[in-house]
Structure 1
Amino acid sequence: MTDLPDAPVVPSEHVQRQATAWFAQREEMAQQPTLRQRFEQWHQANPEHAAAYQALETLWQSHEFEQALRGLDLDLPAAPVRPARTPRKAWWVATAAMVLMMLTSGWLSDLPMRLRADQITAVAEVRHLTLDDGSQIVLGSHSAISTDINNDHRRVHLLRGELYVEAFHDPSRPLTISAADATVTVVGTQFSVELQGSDVTVAVREGKVRFADQTGEQSLLLAGNWQQLKNAHLQPVNTEGAERQMAWVQGRLSFQDQPLAQVLNTLERYYPQPILLFNDNAAKHRVSGNYQLDNPLAIVQALNKVTSTQLTRLPGGMLVIH
């Protein structure tokens, strides 16, 4: 039997952002052994990390990338008038680095999402929307949706992040929210949906929500209930804590007895740089808290004290927790 080739490693958007942040610090790593050691630890921790960083190096070294730069209509710094003080080659490297960071951290990595989404928010941006049927939506930070509303149906696809919905009452056209392998169906109610990886969390403030997985298993959630689809299976219904799941709508991050790693994954939607956690014990440490989201760095610092971990803020703002 002929062995099939291994499937290619496709880094997630989260990993691409981490790789970009490390790539931007190559010169610092050459001069700081401790920083280089942290990079190596990250690089070897997961095949996705190595694949993402290799993709950046390949792009950086390609002749096509240099040619593409010259054809881009970008607001870049002009070449220096006095090359004796700033050689043109150095200017070109700096300009290329700037564009590479823009492409990999924003434009290029986010392009597939932008092509799919009708509405998309940046990090720390929350947007209020009115759908064509009159439903009100609050789209959370670093989130994206596509919509399909006509006389026959009302459909919203949560592509990433989270949303809060006040659905317009229309029994003839139930509103359907799809996210990963989950489907939420309502007639008129208030609820939130969060997508984290392939896990989906639904919380209900008012009315009733039908929450189903891809196999057809489903639950009827009432006001005050919340439930998760985790590892492709519906988890038990929670009858307390629904408002905590929707705290972000009021600009707060509220969590009760959650693993630190899960809290940091949520928090990273509000912090513009990667947050790296290199402490397996701390990752499982269960924490609780209620914080204002307008200062995510302060939240990380508070969690750092609670879990007795070491926090390092690297140049550019990337956070490393040991």
Structure 2
Amino acid sequence: MSTPDSPQPPTGRHTQHHQQSTPDKDDALAPFAEALRERVPSREALLAEAKAQTARQRRRGKQSAAGGLLMLLLAGGIWILDPAWHTEDIHTAIGQRSTTRLADGSDVILNTGSHLRIESRLRSRRLELVQGEATFTVVHEPKPLIVRSQGVHVRDIGTVFNVRSDSRGVVVSVVEGAVEVSNGQTPARLLEAGQQVQASRERISTTRRIDPDAVTAWQQGKLRFDGTPLREVIADIQRYRQAPIRLDEARLGSLRVSGEYDTNAIESLIDLLPAILPVSLARGSDGTVVVHGVR
């Protein structure tokens, strides 16, 4: 029997209630730790992301370097190929002459019925005489000036030169200085003042002496012939008229013509032919002229 002052041993119910009222701290933080793990990457995740970022930067660096190299190669290729980045076409009508000053200060005088194409390039100055005749007075520059026509290339070496391009081929005449004539098939030919060649894609004729004043007489509205075959005279006359003029017989082409004639009076020159040669003329209603031989 116990006394009132004797301590009482704890009962089982009281002990159980005490254990439930003091929960473990780790258990209490567990829900928050899980939420933090979802919001804050782990060390392993951070390292993986850093490695991926480094790899992406390296790829971008390689792509940038490759792009830079490609641009450099393209620029070098463009410089080597020397493409035309701009072209301009100039035409003259039948009987018309015109003078054009190029961007570099060079002058081009175009004769009747001519077509000149001016090409702007990086490394060179290039012109194409599609047809007709032109005299080029060239300003010296580090970039060479090249005139091409019918597969023939004329490279300026400091000069004034004349180029005629028609059904007869290309005729290059040097007034001052020198030019180099080439066609990619035969050795290039160097021409100096007072020299001329006739050229095509296949051949370049032997060099012959000419009178530069006679070659450029067309600039003063004149045609000069000095024992010139009639076939050549007819070809020159044709450049100054729309309607055709032709020889009835090929043998007539060997007849010779001399003298100076006015390009503004081409019909008068045609009418004069029977007076200086054994020929007659037949004029058609459409302006066609046929030159017949006199037997």
Q: Same fold (TM over 0.5)?
A: yes
What TM-score results when the alignment is normalised by the length of structure 1? 0.60
Q: CA offsets per residue over residues 186-227 of structure 1, 9 Å max, x none?
A: 143211000122511111111111111231422111111122
Deviation at 1:131, TM superposition (A): 1.2
Tell me the secondary structure at the aligned position of residue 249 of structure 1.
helix
Instruction: Give yes or no for contact 1:183–1:211 (8 Å, CA) kept in 2.
Output: yes
- Which residue number corresponds to residue 154 of structure 1? 125
CA distance in 2, matches of 1:254, 1:231: 28
Q: CA offsets per residue over residues 224-263 of structure 1, 9 Å max, x none?
A: 1122116832112122323322221221111223221221
Q: Which amino acid aligns with 1:206?
A: E
- Where in structure 2 are the equivalents of 1:150-189 lying within 5 Å? 150-170=121-141, 172-189=142-159
**Which runs of 4 or more aligned residues in structure 1 lie more than 4 Å from their structure 2 counterparts after TM superposition?**
none
What TM-score results when the alignment is normalised by the length of structure 2? 0.65
- Where in structure 2 are the equivalents of 1:36-185 lying within 5 Å? 118-170=89-141, 172-185=142-155
CA distance in 2, matches of 1:299, 1:126: 19
CA distance in 1, matches of 2:202, 2:261: 30
Q: CA offsets per residue over residues 47-75 of structure 1, 9 Å max, x none?
A: xxxxxxxxxxxxxxxxxxxxxxxxxxxxx
Stretches of structure 1 that go unaligned for 5 or more consecutive residues are 1-115
142-151 or 225-234, which deviates more: 225-234
Instruction: Give yes or no for contact 2:160–2:176 (8 Å, CA) kept in 1.
Output: yes
Q: CA offsets per residue over residues 154-173 of structure 1, 9 Å max, x none?
A: 00001001101111111x11
Deviation at 1:148, TM superposition (A): 0.8
Q: Which amino acid aligns with 1:200?
A: V
Q: Which structure features the higher share of strand residues?
A: 2
- Which residue number corresponds to residue 312 of structure 1? 282
Aligned length: 206
- Which residue number corresponds to residue 261 of structure 1? 231
Instruction: Give yes or no for contact 1:268–1:274 (8 Å, CA) kept in 2.
Output: yes
CA distance in 1, matches of 2:269, 2:235: 13
CA distance in 2, matches of 1:274, 1:304: 18
Instruction: Give yes or no for contact 1:135–1:167 (8 Å, CA) kept in 2.
Output: yes
**Structure number with larger C-alpha Rg:** 2
- Which residue number corresponds to residue 105 of structure 1? none
Instruction: Give yes or no for contact 1:173–1:187 (8 Å, CA) kept in 2.
Output: no
Deviation at 1:151, TM superposition (A): 4.1
Stretches of structure 2 that go unaligned for 5 or more consecutive residues are 1-86
- Which residue number corresponds to residue 277 of structure 1? 247
Deviation at 1:302, TM superposition (A): 2.2
